[in-house]
Amino acid sequence: MSGLEDLFEAAKAARENAYAPYSNFKVGAAIRAARGRVFTGCNVENAAYPEGTCAEAGAIAAMVLAGETRIGEVVVIGDAALCTPCGGCRQKLKEFSAPDVSVHIAGLDGIKQSFTVAELLPAGFELHGNRD
């Protein structure tokens, strides 16, 4: 299996653990950190609807908890025509990525489309300038 296939399978497995009793829309994310380790996350809904968390945010939190701060590649999977990260998650991905980092958008049957972080968020917020 290739590195991208491994990342896809990790995101798909994470999606299965999503907690989505309100929307029934499960999302999984897998991040390969710059040093090669893979971190996953799933969406977790809450009855106070906007208080849930996204799959990408969970994967980023796991990565940071492990001491990593640079993203090398991302897969996001949902059962939709194109389940791209929400605006908040695009900003979160930007915080830990170079502009050319690939974000692969997948359905249950495989990768549908790939974007760079810069394509997903061309004019994201920067407090202190580019980290790269």
Could you tell me the CATH number of the domain that includes residue 67? 3.40.140.10
- 125 lies in some domain: no
**Which of 9-13, 48-52, 118-122 comes out lowest in average pLDDT?**
48-52
Provide the pLDDT for residue 64. 98
- 14 lies in some domain: yes
- 131 lies in some domain: no
Integer Cα distance of 32 and 68 in angstroms: 10
Q: Which residues are catalytic?
A: 56
Helix, strand, or coil (residue 114): strand
- 114 lies in some domain: yes
- 63 lies in some domain: yes
Provide the pLDDT for residue 130. 57
Provide the pLDDT for residue 1. 61
- 126 lies in some domain: no
pLDDT of 66-107, one tens digit each? Answer: 999 999 999 999 999 999 999 999 999 999 999 999 999 999
Q: Is pLDDT larger for residue 114 or for residue 130?
A: 114
Report whether 54 belongs to an annotated binding site: yes
Domain of residue 64, residue span: 3-120
Integer Cα distance of 117 and 98 in angstroms: 7
Residues in the chain, overall count: 132
Provide the pLDDT for residue 131. 57
Query: C-alpha distances in angstroms, 22 versus 25, 46, 48, 79?
Result: 8, 8, 10, 16
Report whether 48 belongs to an annotated binding site: yes
Q: What is the mean pLDDT of the chain?
A: 95
Report whether 83 belongs to an annotated binding site: no
For 10, the token pair is 């990790």
Provide the pLDDT for residue 109. 96
Report whether 103 belongs to an annotated binding site: no
Average pLDDT for 18-40? 97
- 130 lies in some domain: no
Do strands 27-33 and 71-78 pair parallel, antiparallel, or not at all (unpaired)? antiparallel
- 85 lies in some domain: yes
pTM: 0.94
Integer Cα distance of 34 and 23 in angstroms: 33
Count how many domains the chain has. 1
Contact 36, 3 (CB under 8 A): no
